[in-house]
Structures are given as structure tokens and as C-alpha cells.
Amino acid sequence: MLALEGLQLPYYVYILRCKDGSYYTGYAKDAEKRFEMHKKGRGARYTRMHEPETLVYTEQFESRSEAVRRERKIKTLNHNRKQQLINKNNNSSAPNKINKEKTKK
């Protein structure tokens, strides 16, 4: 038996900023790996048409259902509200949020 058996890995909700200035919101077990997939054109249809530039926001959850609920909530926000969320998160040190600014290499 593995020592990690029963250990539940967290899920993340993430927001990508695309080169055209738009935002894409999704969820994944590994937000940075998913971002790399989007950059390679192996992510969502949206990011194949709107090239992702930067991972600007991540938020950690203990379960997939929590992450999916949060993703849906964020997707209802308009562009300005998403920008406010990103700015607020980048200025906060809330324990369940991870501040990331990862640019394309």
C-alpha cells in the first residue's frame, strides 16, 4: 500500500489572462500544468482562439465540487469584476488563496 493512499489532492480554480486582454477561468488539480497545456493549444477551445499569456489567479479547494462551484461563480462575473478579484487577491494574504503571476516563457 502506498503511504499517500487516501490523501486527497486539492483542486484549484484559476484565471488566465489572454493576449487579447480577455480572461479564461477553469479548474484543475494542477493549475500550472493546466496553464502549460492551454499554452500548447491542448486546453479549452476558448484558449485555442485566445492565446493564453499569464496565469493571474489561483484559489485552492479541498474538493472538486467546491472548485466547480467557485469556477461557475467566477464565470458569471464581468471583465471588470474579474479584474477586481485578481487585484484583491494579489494584495491579500488569505490562507486559501495562492497568489501567482506566471508569464509565458
- What's the CATH number where 57 sits? 3.40.1440
Helix (H/G/I), strand (E/B), else coil: 5: coil
> In the chain, how many domains are there?
1
pTM confidence score: 0.80
Give residue 98's pLDDT: 46
Instruction: Specify if 1 maps to a domain.
Output: no
3-class SS string, 79-105: HHHHHHHHHHHHCCCCCCEECCCEECC
CB atoms within 10 A of CB 47: 22
Residue span of the structural domain in which 60 resides: 11-103
Give residue 95's pLDDT: 43
In this prediction, what percent of the chain has a pLDDT beyond 90?
75
Instruction: Specify if 5 maps to a domain.
Output: no
Give residue 8's pLDDT: 81
Identify whether the C-beta of residue 60 lies closer than 8 Å to the C-beta of residue 10.
Answer: yes
Identify whether the C-beta of residue 22 lies closer than 8 Å to the C-beta of residue 50.
Answer: yes
